[in-house]
Amino acid sequence: MSETDDVRALMEADRWIDRVRSQKTHLPELNELSSLEGQLRQLLKDLHEAELVVAPVKSEYEGVARESAHLKDRARDLDARLSSSTANARELTAIQGELTHVRELLAANEDRELELLMQVEPLDERVVAIKATAQPAASRRGELIDLIAQLRATLDDELVALRESRTATAAPLSAPLLARYEAALKHSGTSGAAQVIDGRCDGCRIALSPLDYDRFKSLAPDTLMDCPECGRLLLP
Ligand SMILES: [Zn+2]
């Protein structure tokens, strides 16, 4: 193989490494994960809002329900006293009066209790519905995180293998040529060489000036010039 072929093989090895590296950061699963996480953040916000709305209504409902229970007990006691009482007529009238009052309070309280219950139910349902929507999204998120980790590990293994074979591919290059190649790679990324296609460097995609293109075409075999724009070694 000529030195030009050796450089070409190294360029191809580096371009392959670059493709695998970019696959790692452009996994379609990463897009799905990011949109899913956006959705989950919104659902969490909705959930907090729904819980904030339901909390005071629920707490008032619970207070009113406790009060109803208390009034029921009181009415039961008074009832029992009325039916078993040995009290005189005046006391009986007083107990009867209190019982009537307690029953009125209880009726009003139970109306309010029912009213609050009617408010709590749809608010609670909203909380439950948000949780139900979030649940499959959250488990899909878990799956995606695992899947991404697996895919990245596979690509990392592939990169290790590609880097090993790249070392073998770089071995035949002379030290000065390899140094030029590595310097161009460090400067421009992806690869240290590029091909000239239709008068254009396919590394930086910039067309050579007519003068540079003439120079490129008249180079002696195995003599490589740098791209004037990106510095990569130019290959025919
Ligand atoms: Zn270039």
Domain ranges of the chain: 19-170, 175-235
Please give the distance, rounded to the nearest whole angstrom, from the Cα atom of residue 169 to the centre of ligand 1: 22
Q: How many CB atoms lie within 10 A of CB 236?
A: 12
Please give the distance, rounded to the nearest whole angstrom, from the Cα atom of residue 27 to the centre of ligand 1: 28
Calculate mean pLDDT across residues 118-132: 95
Tell me the pLDDT of the chain averaged across its residues: 95
Over the stretch 174-215, which tens digit does the pLDDT of each residue have?
999 999 999 999 999 999 999 999 999 999 999 999 999 999
- pTM equals 0.73
Residue 233 near residue 192, CB atoms below 8 Å = yes
Question: Secondary structure of the chain in the HEC alphabet?
Answer: CCHHHHHHHHHHHHHHHHHHHHHHHCCHHHHHHHHHHHHHHHHHHHHHHHHHHHHHHHHHHHHHHHHHHHHHHHHHHHHHHHHHCCCCHHHHHHHHHHHHHHHHHHHHHHHHHHHHHHHHHHHHHHHHHHHHHHHHHHHHHHHHHHHHHHHHHHHHHHHHHHHHHHHHHHCCCCHHHHHHHHHHHHHHCCCCEEEEECCEECCCCCECCHHHHHHHHCCCCCCCCECCCCCCEEEC
- For residue 83, the model assigns a pLDDT of 87
The residue type found at 93 is T
Has residue 71 got a pLDDT over 90? yes
Please give the distance, rounded to the nearest whole angstrom, from the Cα atom of residue 191 to the centre of ligand 1: 11
Distance between CA atoms of 152 and 20, rounded to whole angstroms? 10
Please give the distance, rounded to the nearest whole angstrom, from the Cα atom of residue 50 to the centre of ligand 1: 58
Has residue 165 got a pLDDT over 70? yes
- For residue 85, the model assigns a pLDDT of 64
Please give the distance, rounded to the nearest whole angstrom, from the Cα atom of residue 192 to the centre of ligand 1: 10
Please give the distance, rounded to the nearest whole angstrom, from the Cα atom of residue 209 to the centre of ligand 1: 12
Calculate mean pLDDT across residues 14-24: 97
Distance between CA atoms of 104 and 110, rounded to whole angstroms? 10
Please give the distance, rounded to the nearest whole angstrom, from the Cα atom of residue 37 to the centre of ligand 1: 40
- For residue 168, the model assigns a pLDDT of 97
Strand partners for 193: 233
Please give the distance, rounded to the nearest whole angstrom, from the Cα atom of residue 218 to the centre of ligand 1: 18
What are the phi and psi torsion angles at 207 (to 5°)?
-70, 140
Distance between CA atoms of 139 and 61, rounded to whole angstroms? 34
12 pLDDT tier (thresholds 50, 70, 90): very high
Please give the distance, rounded to the nearest whole angstrom, from the Cα atom of residue 4 to the centre of ligand 1: 17
Please give the distance, rounded to the nearest whole angstrom, from the Cα atom of residue 173 to the centre of ligand 1: 21
Please give the distance, rounded to the nearest whole angstrom, from the Cα atom of residue 174 to the centre of ligand 1: 22
Please give the distance, rounded to the nearest whole angstrom, from the Cα atom of residue 185 to the centre of ligand 1: 11
Fold classified for 19-170: Helix Hairpins (1.10.287)
Distance between CA atoms of 181 and 186, rounded to whole angstroms? 9
What are the phi and psi torsion angles at 139 (to 5°)?
-75, -35
Please give the distance, rounded to the nearest whole angstrom, from the Cα atom of residue 193 to the centre of ligand 1: 8
Please give the distance, rounded to the nearest whole angstrom, from the Cα atom of residue 96 to the centre of ligand 1: 103
Please give the distance, rounded to the nearest whole angstrom, from the Cα atom of residue 63 to the centre of ligand 1: 77
Please give the distance, rounded to the nearest whole angstrom, from the Cα atom of residue 182 to the centre of ligand 1: 15
Please give the distance, rounded to the nearest whole angstrom, from the Cα atom of residue 202 to the centre of ligand 1: 7
Terminal-to-terminal C-alpha distance of the chain: 15
